[in-house]
Structure 1
């Protein structure tokens, strides 16, 4: 079975991706993507560049954003907004507030790492701040991993790259993790709707592991106005895909999919169209602008 020709989540240097938006588009075109979303975290600053590049490569580009929201025991639920007016003033104002909260979270994690005796290479972090770009967990983990003073300790702990360092110290439950405080999932969905978009829960099994809890969470988010679910995802099993797709069909929700592209050198998310529809037919609705 051929891979899907749409890929509805990707990231650039405006959040935690490796490449500028125009380069993301070029790689997508080379991979045969026909419908793409650039969905940087809590920002739409790369969308205009992506739109121009998509036009030159003959790709349909959906203006998008990925908003992070704490939700009870789950500190980092991701809500994708598709078809938004990325110049909407109210949207831009809210995203600015969300990034400020993200910056505070980064400061708290950096402080926890220092309390545990780590040094950080602050130069790239300061460079990102000076250019107005957010600091995410991959950037913090890289700052730890690349500082020479940490090398012996990291080797002793068996941490051989940035990703292993991130998992050991910066994911939920790890010793230097800190969560977001705003927005709620309901707020994120409302902001997306107010900007003319549709709201989709990204990679549901990434943050919620228990299948029954995933189903219950979908039902709850539908009560907030959720429009769809990212049923087809690079890290989903066939069983997870079927479970989510079935519930989406029952609830008349959109079903989207992505390989969550972060760049050609990313350990996990480096290949466009690298997700499986598992024999299902996606329901993209108004997102499909081809």
Structure 2
């Protein structure tokens, strides 16, 4: 396998993407994706629509979610749940509680941004709340960016999109950030397993820089039941990919990958199949089987 035909992380307007799930699937099909996961943050609300669209476009859809979790000093690690029962009421309640925790944190972070002198446009945030959609840091950043009272300051500081504003104000160590405490990575793994799914650590080197820390985390998470690692990712270079693939092989873990599609206008994640395999060929049979089961159940 020289080029991937799978893309196992993508996002719709149900979390921090911009397109409806059916549009995400249509764009994936146009790009040549054959196996796709719609993995919105802390929700499964778009999965049913994605499965239906997959049937129309000839794309196999893996029922998925991406749970934002904490692990010690790392306050935003992501655990992908593949092959979950997206209609499981226990999972739905757990994700709802996680979103509620995120929403409270988002409100407090908006207050902090106010205290830092930024006006926050509440209209788009209120619209998301009314629609039952999560509010994350990209939405907070956008609410600052679109408010006209901030234009002069934003220009002075060089912030013209969320990708520059978030690192300046909404990550650990910056003045607008507040830490999360729930759920932990271990809790997320348990939630996914109890919903019948496979737990995969997403984009390790996006969140952690040091090789030794990444490998140590994989070992700890595997001991707690982690099923695999997202090895293939647009920002993972050849050396990082090899490091991850070799450790997964040693531990018997699955290897997956994605372009982390967020929409056609996203600064970083706007193209499907943007992840390189660097000579590796992952075994995706379990995910293909999960997609087939979901399609059969929806038929």
Mapping for residues 244-259 of structure 1, pairs under 5 Å:
244-259=244-259
Aligned match of 1:208: 208
Question: Hey, what's the Cα distance between the residues in 2 that align with 1:93 and 1:25?
Answer: 26
Aligned match of 1:34: 34
Question: Hey, what's the Cα distance between the residues in 2 that align with 1:242 and 1:162?
Answer: 31
Question: Hey, what's the Cα distance between the residues in 1 that align with 2:13 and 2:179?
Answer: 22
CA RMSD of aligned residues (A): 1.1
* Contact 2:119–2:149 (CA under 8 A) maintained in structure 1: yes
Aligned match of 2:277: 277
Deviation at 1:172, TM superposition (A): 2.3
* Contact 1:70–1:179 (CA under 8 A) maintained in structure 2: no
After TM superposition, the score normalised by the length of structure 2 is 0.95
Larger displacement relative to structure 2 (159-168 or 47-56): 159-168
Mapping for residues 1-290 of structure 1, pairs under 5 Å:
2-289=2-289
- 1:283 aligns to what SS in structure 2? coil
Question: Hey, what's the Cα distance between the residues in 1 that align with 2:285 and 2:130?
Answer: 39
Question: Hey, what's the Cα distance between the residues in 2 that align with 1:75 and 1:158?
Answer: 26
Question: Hey, what's the Cα distance between the residues in 2 that align with 1:179 and 1:42?
Answer: 17
Question: Hey, what's the Cα distance between the residues in 1 that align with 2:162 and 2:68?
Answer: 22
Question: Which runs of structure 1 show a deviation greater than 4 angstroms over 4 or more consecutive aligned residues?
Answer: none
Question: Hey, what's the Cα distance between the residues in 2 that align with 1:179 and 1:231?
Answer: 27
- 2:164 aligns to what SS in structure 1? helix
How big is each residue's C-alpha offset from its partner over 1:80-101, in whole Å with a ceiling of 9 and x where there is no partner? 0000000011111111111111
- 2:143 aligns to what SS in structure 1? helix
How big is each residue's C-alpha offset from its partner over 1:42-74, in whole Å with a ceiling of 9 and x where there is no partner? 000000100100000011000000001111110
Count of matched residue pairs = 290
How big is each residue's C-alpha offset from its partner over 1:254-277, in whole Å with a ceiling of 9 and x where there is no partner? 000000000000000000000100
How big is each residue's C-alpha offset from its partner over 1:9-57, in whole Å with a ceiling of 9 and x where there is no partner? 0000000001000000000000000000000000000001001000000
After TM superposition, the score normalised by the length of structure 1 is 0.98
Question: Hey, what's the Cα distance between the residues in 1 that align with 2:5 and 2:151?
Answer: 42
* Contact 1:3–1:274 (CA under 8 A) maintained in structure 2: no
